[in-house]
């Protein structure tokens, strides 16, 4: 008995091996990069001369502190997505950073040093207009928040409201700006468009209205865009219709003084709206009397207001960007001007005289594959000799931040475009030069015996040379300490590794910047900015030619489609080097409805891309004679489908030999009842190893493996929790036949779907039980296969058997994907991105509709887990341990050269790359595999046999003598 129990316990130990990383494996096969998004506000922490923090608030609703020496994150706070978490304003004073979030819904104060929350205040409703810090007698203690109808002042120390006042005549007056000059008064500026400005002055003490005046200004409609407060509280506005500056002393005057720009000897570019930039070094003090006036896209003027007179200090022409910066008591102006095509120079100028400061030139090299500079963030500091030194952070159109030190040394760059990856592909790296040489030998046409022999000899010689070089490197590296041996990855020495585990990640971001990233290290190897990408573009990335066709370079095609007009462009590039291909893509004058990559190849091994336009005409790329001929031959077997979700219409077409199309099927789902939310096909590179499943009684249940199957998910238009439902349709994409139609009642989206092999897994919200549920559909042909050699949608008359089961999942999910391996032998896992940032690897075994309710001998034989309604989340299933991925939006899986291994990239705000082994590493020896032991045992056995053989011989001989 005891032995039996012992055996049982041992079995337990054997089966429940923890599937997780060891501490020393952390970061060995995986990496994570954290991003913040496109910067909207930034402040340098200036409390201490040695401070290294840059505070950034971004359009992705992230507030973070960057290390200005390295570009790494000190801390990061990720708020809700969408308008709820939108950061309206960032105010920074000493060690407090005040954020207004969600259109004035929240007021938060953060401690800059540690990134902790000081306090948080829920504000009254009302749309946010403006906010400013209010100083008094040299100290800043309050923050004023202006909303559409109300102004409130809060203590900076604890967020409590000091006073709140309704704005007078807020129905007619559009209040836009709040300003304080540090003298115990708060100015609220509002405008009645095409009539007048209203100025309301509040007392800082109790919120009483001290003064309320109206000033005629019929040309003004937007104060922040055309006005600024300068000097001793003078409102300076620029009027683009009369080309004049208008000044108004907020304290005394009741009328604007107009100063025509011509009187200053200035000309404005036509069609340019001039703007003003002023600077208030400290909220407790008056703004400077100097200000910038931008007169054209490349022209800035530094002006000074001197006793009501405007003096031109300096004319910057050409100048791209300008900015004021204060350190200590000194304020300087930084101006960026173009130098030549590839570089810009930045100089400092004294703000009160406009004189150029000596030795302050800084060169910013413009990346030819990047965007134009968009904003300039300057950090100034006082040097030992009391002169001003500075560093700049340049923000370019492609969301890149570049931090530069004098005289032009780039300290770091952050590619913030990567915080919004839209789609990606992983491309095999090319073979090494020597391998390619060998391949090339077979690729070329034979030209004579002698030359072939010579070629063979030369390539063998090259290989020998490479091998010796490799040996030498090994020997050389072995003598160095391990830490110094670094495999520098560069674009030149990229080559495929033994198991094809290292690949090129080609990532497409919403800003239109493309990246090539080494999957092993996460290093960005190339980047390319497409500057003509529309704002609301949809992207589709296709690999037309892989690296397998040496000497033809690999080729990727990116389809960029404007969602509004449907017009599309193609960008063809080499995924390894990022260079634009010589191949000129066809011009697409018509809106594109559908694109499909055919398995057909042209004579250069590029797969054929078909584009269907809104006239249902088809164009091919590449469109060589060879391709058109092939298309004509195979036209009758090329089917495609179109989906119009606004009309609920799914329709199928067949290609004709003249590249026109004919409609062959149509399914219409009435939009009054339900709308199509997603359509998922199978991945074309998926392999399924086993055709069926062996049952308990040794018979085989064959899978229904239809590569053309589409899973269409619909949601009901009725959102009432009793009547809402989710529909699942399985449609054959070739024949339009509805294979299966099911509804999940009392359920609601968002629905996440994975469709692979013979199964569909989807997740939804159950309104009845108020929880997330998973459901799995599996399709089987039955005990016999209709046609085991080939699958044709046109010849499968019998409908498959459908099995379905549902489960409860304890968390909501962000995204879902299935693992993929080379040959499909390895068991499948589902990779589930959770809102918490974890990525869960859930074995598909648990989502199996054949899990029995009641355990029988047969189900035990089949290794089926008995059904239980809950799916549990086991912590060791998290493949990213503590490396959480912020706002995970997509997971990309790709097979490696090893059957056991699948490469995974999760992207969202962050990017995380790792490898997963769904069935453990059955084809790889362990890291700590004891080679010594096994070889010594082998040798020992070998010698033992030798000796015993000898002994046996001697014994035999002795016996024979006897």
Partner 1 sequence: GDPLEAELSGFSVPLEHSFELDVAKFQSRGSLLLKTGREPSVSLTQNQLSEDDRSKLKEVAAVDGLYRIRVPRVSLQADRQTEWQVDGYLIAFVRACAMVESHLSDVITLHTDVSGYLIGVSIVTLPGACRGAEVEDEVDLEVYNTTLSIMAPVNAPPETALFLERMEQESEKKGKNPQEQKSFFAKYWMYIVPLVLFLMMSGAQDQSGGGAGGGAANGGGR
Residues at the contact surface with partner 1, assessed by CB under 8 A: 1-2, 5-6, 9, 13-15, 17, 636, 651, 654, 662-670, 673-674, 725, 727-728, 731, 735-738, 740-746, 766, 768-769, 773, 775, 777, 787, 794-797, 802, 804-806, 808, 825-827, 853-854, 867-869, 919-922, 926
Tokens, residue 676: 């199509």
Of 657 and 858, the one with the shorter C-beta distance to partner 1 is 657
Of residues 444 and 745, the one with the C-beta less far from partner 1: 745
Cβ-based nearer residue to partner 1, 577 or 640: 640
Beta bridge pairs of residue 107: 100, 121
Please, are residues 495 and 576 in contact by the beta-carbon 8 Å criterion? Answer: no
Strands 829-833 and 815-818 turn out to be antiparallel
In angstroms, what is the minimal distance from the CB of 521 to partner 1?
A: 27
- Closest separation between CB of residue 898 and partner 1, Å? 13
Q: State the alpha helices, DSSP H only, in 602-702.
A: 625-634
User: Between residues 4 and 587, which has the closer beta carbon with respect to partner 1?
Assistant: 4
CB of 467 to partner 1, least distance (A): 33
Q: At its nearest, how many Å lie between partner 1 and the CB of residue 770? A: 12
Please give the backbone phi and psi of residue 91, each rounded to the nearest 5 degrees, phi first.
Answer: -115, 140
Cβ neighbour number for residue 482 with a 10 Å cutoff? 7
Contacts of 24 (CB under 8 A, 6+ apart): none
Query: Which residue in 710, 593, 602 sits closest to 661, CA to CA?
Result: 593
The answer for residues whose C-beta is within 8 angstroms of residue 488's C-beta and 6 or more apart is none
Give the C-alpha distances (Å, rounded to integers) separating 901 from 427, 489, 502, 819, 923: 16, 23, 12, 9, 9
| Cβ(502)–Cβ(493) below 8 Å | no
Contact (Cβ atoms closer than 8 angstroms) between residue 320 and residue 328: no
**Cα–Cα distance for residue pair 275/507, rounded to 1 Å:** 37
Minimal distance in Å, beta carbon 46 to partner 1? 54
Residue 530, token pair as written in the block: 């497409």
Distance in angstroms (rounded) separating the CA atoms of residues 585 and 571: 7
Q: What does the CA dihedral 883, 884, 890, 892 come to, rounded to 10 degrees?
A: 20
Least CB distance from residue 727 to partner 1, whole Å?
7
Smallest separation, CB 716 to partner 1 (Å): 8
Would you tell me how many other CB atoms lie within 10 Å of the CB of residue 4?
8
Closest contact distance (angstroms) between CB of 600 and partner 1 is: 19
CB of 17 to partner 1, least distance (A): 4
Q: What is the DSSP letter of 371?
A: -
Instruction: CB nearer to partner 1: give 126 or 897.
Output: 897
Kindly tell me which of 458 and 637 has the beta carbon lying closer to partner 1. 637
- Closest CB to partner 1 among residues 194, 860: 860
Per-residue DSSP letters for 711-727?
EEEEEES---TTT-EEE
- Which of 350, 900 has the CB closer to partner 1? 900
Q: Which two tokens stand for residue 772?
A: 């997330």
Q: Alpha-carbon distance 960 to 962, whole Å? A: 5
CB-wise, 489 or 808, nearer to partner 1?
808
Gap between the Cα atoms of 4 and 257, Å rounded: 101
What CA–CA distance (Å, rounded) separates 209 from 207? 6
Output the smallest distance, CB 700 to partner 1, in A. Answer: 18
Tell me how far apart the alpha carbons of residues 896 and 820 are, in angstroms, rounded to a whole number: 9
Q: In whole angstroms, how close is the CB of 809 to partner 1 at the nearest point?
A: 12
Nearer to partner 1, 804 or 836 (CB): 804
* Distance from C-alpha of 95 to C-alpha of 911, rounded to nearest angstrom: 31
Per the listing, tokens 């407060």 go with 229
Q: CA nearest 306: which of 418, 411, 231? A: 231
Nearer to partner 1, 311 or 742 (CB): 742
Which CB sits closer to partner 1, 267 or 666? 666
Supply the minimum distance, in Å, between the C-beta of residue 9 and partner 1. Answer: 6
User: For residues 96 and 899, which CB has a smaller minimum distance to partner 1 in the complex?
Assistant: 899
| Six token digits for residue 375 | 């904003």
Q: How far is the CB of 15 from partner 1 (least distance, A)?
A: 7
> Rounded distance, CA 320 to CA 346, Å?
10
Comparison of 96 and 773: residue with beta carbon closer to partner 1: 773
* Buried b / exposed e along 803-817 (16+ C-beta atoms within 10 A): bbbbbebeeebbbbb
Q: CB-wise, 685 or 792, nearer to partner 1? A: 792
The full length of the chain comes to 962
| CA-to-CA separations, 349 to 4, 274, 313, 325, 405, in angstroms, rounded | 87, 22, 10, 10, 17
d(CA 13, CA 7): 10
Q: How far is the CB of 628 from partner 1 (least distance, A)?
A: 20
| Core vs surface per residue 732-760: b (16+ CB within 10 A) or e | bbbbbbebbeeebebbbbebbbbbbbbbb
What residues have CB less than 8 Å from 47, skipping those under 6 apart? 94, 95, 112
Q: Which is nearer to partner 1, 489 or 664 (CB)?
A: 664
CB of 785 to partner 1, least distance (A): 14
For residues 180 and 766, which CB has a smaller minimum distance to partner 1 in the complex?
A: 766
**Ramachandran bin of 644, using left for φ above 0, alpha for ψ from -120 to 50, beta for the remaining angles:** beta
> To 10 degrees, what angle do helices 449-479 and 433-443 make?
170
CB of 783 to partner 1, least distance (A): 19
Smallest separation, CB 875 to partner 1 (Å): 18
Closest distance to partner 1 from the beta carbon of 877 (Å): 15
**What SS3 state is found at 632?**
helix
**Residue 576: how many CB atoms within 10 A of its CB?**
21
Nearer residue to partner 1 within complex by CB, 63 or 774: 774
Burial of 155 (0-12, 13-18, 19+ CB in 10 A): middle
């Amino acid at each position: 008995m005891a032995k039996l129990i012992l055996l049982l316990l041992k079995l337990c130990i054997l089966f429940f091996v923890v599937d997780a990383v060891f501490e020393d494996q952390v970061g060995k096969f995986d990496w994570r990069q954290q991003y913040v998004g496109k910067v909207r506000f930034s402040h340098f922490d200036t409390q201490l001369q040695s401070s290294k923090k840059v505070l950034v608030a971004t359009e992705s609703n992230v507030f973070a502190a960057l290390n200005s020496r390295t570009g790494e994150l000190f801390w990061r706070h990720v708020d809700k997505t969408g308008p709820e978490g939108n950061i309206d304003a960032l105010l920074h004073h000493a060690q407090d950073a005040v954020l207004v979030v969600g259109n004035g819904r929240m007021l938060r104060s953060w401690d800059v040093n540690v990134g902790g929350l000081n306090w948080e205040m829920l504000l009254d409703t009302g749309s946010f207009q403006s906010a400013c810090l209010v100083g008094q007698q040299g100290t800043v203690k309050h923050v004023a928040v202006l909303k559409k109808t109300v102004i409130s002042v809060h203590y900076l120390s604890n967020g409590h409201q000091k006073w709140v006042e309704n704005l007078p005549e807020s129905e007619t007056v559009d209040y836009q700006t709040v300003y304080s000059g540090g003298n115990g008064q708060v100015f609220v500026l509002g405008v009645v468009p095409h009539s007048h400005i209203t100025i309301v002055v509040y007392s800082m003490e109790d919120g009483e209205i001290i003064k309320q005046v109206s000033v005629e200004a019929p040309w003004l409609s937007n104060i922040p865009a055309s006005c600024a407060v300068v000097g001793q509280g003078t409102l300076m506005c620029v009027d683009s219709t009369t080309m004049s500056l208008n000044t108004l002393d907020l304290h005394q005057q009741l009328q604007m003084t107009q100063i025509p720009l011509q009187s200053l000897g200035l000309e404005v570019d036509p069609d340019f709206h001039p703007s003003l930039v002023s600077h208030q070094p400290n909220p407790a003090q008056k703004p400077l009397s100097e200000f910038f006036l931008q007169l054209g896209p490349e022209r800035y003027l530094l002006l000074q207001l001197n006793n009501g007179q405007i003096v031109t200090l300096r004319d910057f022409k050409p100048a791209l960007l300008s900015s004021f910066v204060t350190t200590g008591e000194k304020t300087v102006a930084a101006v960026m001007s173009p130098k030549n095509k590839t570089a810009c120079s930045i100089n400092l100028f004294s703000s009160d005289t406009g004189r150029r400061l000596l030795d302050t030139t800084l060169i910013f090299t413009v990346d030819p594959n990047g965007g134009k500079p968009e904003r300039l963030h300057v950090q100034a500091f006082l040097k030992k000799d009391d002169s001003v030194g500075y560093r700049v952070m340049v923000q370019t159109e492609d969301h890149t931040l570049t931090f530069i030190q004098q005289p032009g040394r780039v300290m770091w760059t952050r590619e913030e475009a990567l915080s919004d990856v839209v789609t990606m592909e992983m491309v095999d790296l090319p073979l090494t030069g020597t391998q390619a040489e060998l391949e090339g030998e077979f690729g070329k046409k034979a030209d004579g015996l002698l030359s072939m022999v010579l070629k063979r000899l030369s390539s063998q010689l090259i290989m020998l040379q490479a091998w010796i070089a490799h040996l030498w490197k090994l020997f050389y590296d072995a003598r160095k300490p391990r830490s110094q041996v670094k495999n520098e990855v560069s674009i030149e020495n990229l080559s495929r590794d033994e198991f094809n585990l290292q690949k090129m990640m080609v990532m497409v971001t919403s800003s239109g910047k493309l990246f090539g990233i080494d999957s092993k290290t996460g290093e960005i190897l190339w980047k390319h900015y497409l500057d003509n990408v529309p704002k609301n573009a949809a992207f589709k990335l296709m690999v037309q030619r892989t690296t397998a066709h040496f000497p033809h370079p690999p080729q990727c095609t990116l389809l960029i489609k404007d969602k509004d007009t449907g017009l599309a462009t193609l960008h063809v590039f080499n995924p390894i080097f990022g260079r634009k291909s010589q191949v000129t893509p066809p011009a697409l004058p018509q809106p594109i409805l559908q694109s499909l990559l055919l398995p057909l190849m042209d004579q250069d091994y590029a797969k054929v891309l078909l584009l269907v336009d809104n006239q249902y005409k088809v164009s091919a790329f590449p469109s060589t004679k060879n391709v058109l001929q092939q298309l004509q031959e195979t036209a009758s077997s090329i089917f495609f489908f179109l989906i119009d979700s606004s009309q609920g219409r799914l329709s199928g077409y067949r290609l004709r030999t003249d590249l026109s199309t004919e409609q062959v099927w149509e399914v219409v789902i009435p939009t009054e009842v339900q709308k199509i939310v997603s359509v998922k096909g199978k991945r074309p590179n998926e392999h399924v190893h086993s055709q069926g499943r062996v049952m308990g009684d040794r018979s085989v249940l064959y899978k229904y493996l239809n590569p053309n199957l589409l899973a269409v998910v619909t949601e009901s238009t009725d959102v009432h929790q009793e009547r809402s439902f989710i529909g699942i349709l399985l449609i054959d994409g070739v024949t339009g036949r509805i294979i299966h139609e099911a509804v999940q009642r009392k359920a609601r989206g968002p629905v996440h779907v994975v469709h692979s092999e013979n199964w569909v897994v989807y997740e939804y919200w159950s309104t009845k039980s108020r929880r997330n549920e998973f459901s799995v559909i599996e399709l089987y042909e039955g005990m016999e296969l209709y046609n085991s050699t080939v699958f044709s949608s046109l010849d499968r008359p019998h409908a498959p058997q459908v099995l379905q089961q549902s489960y409860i999942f304890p968390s909501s999910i962000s995204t879902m994907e299935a693992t993929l391996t080379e040959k499909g032998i390895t068991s499948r896992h589902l990779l589930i991105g959770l809102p918490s940032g974890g990525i869960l690897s859930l074995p598909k075994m648990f989502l199996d509709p054949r899990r029995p309710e009641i355990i029988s001998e047969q189900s035990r034989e089949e290794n089926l887990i008995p059904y239980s309604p809950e799916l549990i989340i086991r912590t060791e299933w998290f493949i990213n341990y503590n490396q959480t991925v912020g706002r995970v939006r997509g997971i990309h899986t790709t097979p490696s050269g090893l059957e056991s291994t699948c490469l995974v990239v999760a992207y969202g705000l962050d990017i995380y790359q790792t490898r997963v082994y769904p069935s453990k590493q059955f084809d790889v020896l362990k890291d700590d595999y004891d080679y010594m032991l096994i070889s010594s045992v082998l040798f020992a056995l070998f010698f033992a046999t030798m000796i015993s053989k000898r002994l046996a011989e001697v014994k035999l001989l002795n016996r024979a003598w006897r």
